[in-house]
Amino acid sequence: MMRTAFACAAAAAVLLTAGAASAQSAPEVAWNAAVASDYVFRGFSQTNEDPTLQGGVDATIGAFYLGAWASNVDFGDSTDAEIDIYGGYRGEAAGFAFDVGVVAYAYVGAPAGADYDYVEFKGAASRAIGPATIGAVIYWSPDFFGIDEEATYVEANIAFEPAPQWTVSGAVGHQALDVNADYATWNAGVAYAFTDNVAIDVRYHDTDVSGPLSDDRVVAALKLLF
C-alpha cells in the first residue's frame, strides 16, 4: 500500500488527495510495477526473505477509486501469490484529507483449510504541516489471516521532502490479534524519484517480535509508475 493502494512514486507514507465525483468523468487509469529485495508486510517477510516482483493497476473516477495488486509470496507451503482487490472514497474535510475503503486479500495456491483469505476495512486521514505530511490509518478485519479472527491494525506515519526528488518517511504501527500475540512494527526510509515514473526506495523494517521473518532488515525497491 504498501502492499495496497498506499504505494506512490516515492514509496513514502500516504499523501491523500481529493476529487469531485461526476457521472460524466472518465476513469483515470494508472499502472505500477516494482522489484524489491524482500516483501515486508507489517514487519514480517512474506517471501521468506527472498526478492519479490509486484504489480498493480488503479482506476479513479472523481473521488472514488478501485484497484488490484499482486505479488509473489512464500509461506513455506504451496501458496504462490497474493492478489489484493481494493476500493474506496477519498475526500477532504476541515483541512484533513481522508480515505475510507475496503481491501480483499486472496492467496493463490493456498493449502486446503489454511484460511488465508480475508477482508479489511480501512480509514485514513492526513494533513500537511509545513514541509511534512502526517497521517494515521486504521484497518479492521472480522476474520483475519490464518487462525486469527477479529484483528485491528493502527499506524501513524510521516513524510517530508528535504530536497527536490527526495522523500524521507517513516511509520509506527500496532497489530492487535485475538489468537496470536499483539505486536508493534516500525519502518523508516528514504526514496529518490529519478523521474515522475521511476523511483527507488531503501527502507529499514523492524518489530518487537523475535524471529527470522520479523527481525530487523533493510529492503531496497525499484518502483515504476505508468
What are the tens digits of pLDDT across the range 14-25? 333 334 444 457
Above 50 in pLDDT, residue 30? Answer: yes
pLDDT digits (tens, 9 = 90+) for 89-100: 999 999 999 999
Counts for the chain of helices (H) and strands (E), in that order = 0, 14
Give, for 59, the enclosing helix (H) or strand (E): strand 52-61
Residue 131 contacts residue 167 (beta carbons within 8 Å):
no
Question: Rounded to a whole number, what is the largest CA-CA distance in the chain?
Answer: 53
pLDDT of residue 222: 98
- Average of per-residue pLDDT across 3-14: 37
For 47-56, the pLDDT digits (tens) are 999 999 999 9
- Confidence at 166, pLDDT banded by 50, 70, 90: very high
Question: Could you tell me if 163 and 5 are in contact, meaning their C-beta atoms sit under 8 angstroms apart?
Answer: no
Residue 46 in this model has a pLDDT that exceeds 50: yes
Report whether pLDDT(189) > 50. yes
| Buried b or exposed e, range 76-111, using 16+ CB within 10 angstroms | eeebebbebbbbbebbeeeeebbbebebebebeebe
What are residue 197's DSSP bridge partners?
A: none
Tell the residue number behind the cell numbers 489484493, with chain if given: 84
Please give the pLDDT value at position 19.
Answer: 40
Task: Round to whole Å and give the CA distance between 161 and 157.
Answer: 14
Q: What is the mean pLDDT of the chain?
A: 91
* Residue 2 pLDDT: 44
* pLDDT confidence band for 10 (50 / 70 / 90): very low
Please compute the mean of the pLDDT values over residues 31-46 and round it to a whole number: 98
| Residue in this structure with the C-alpha cell 479489511, named with its chain if needed | 120
CA angle 85, 11, 168 (to 5 degrees): 150
- Over the stretch 68-84, which tens digit does the pLDDT of each residue have? 999 999 999 999 999 99
Of 182, 183, 225, the residue nearest 58 (C-alpha): 225
d(CA 194, CA 19): 27
Contact indicator for 68, 85 with CB cutoff of 8 Å: yes
Q: How many CB atoms lie within 10 A of CB 63?
A: 18
- The pLDDT tens digits of the residues spanning 110-165 come to 999 999 999 999 999 999 999 999 999 999 999 999 999 999 999 999 999 999 99
pLDDT per position as a tens digit, 199-223: 999 999 999 999 999 999 999 999 9
